[in-house]
Amino acid sequence: MMSFHSTAAQLVTLAAEGEEHGGNHESLSPYLTGGAAFFILMLLLWITTRFNRDR
C-alpha cells in the first residue's frame, strides 16, 4: 500500500514533467475547443429553457 507521501511525490514529479511539454497538443485549436464548448453550453441552455416553459 502506498503512503500519502510517496503518492504526493509521484504527483509532483508527474506535474513537473508536464511543464516541459506545455500541455498543449499540436492538433488542438483553442478557438475550435472554445467554440465547441460555447456551442454545447448554449445547446444545453436552450434545452433547459424548453423544459421550463411554464415559468
Is pTM beyond 0.75? Reply is no
Residue keyed to cell 472554445: 34
pLDDT one-digit tens code per residue, 6-51: 888 887 877 776 555 555 667 778 899 999 999 999 999 999 989 8
CA distances 38 to 6, 28, 32, Å, are: 39, 16, 10
24: left (phi over 0), alpha (psi -120 to 50) or beta: beta
* Separation of alpha carbons 24 and 18, rounded Å: 10
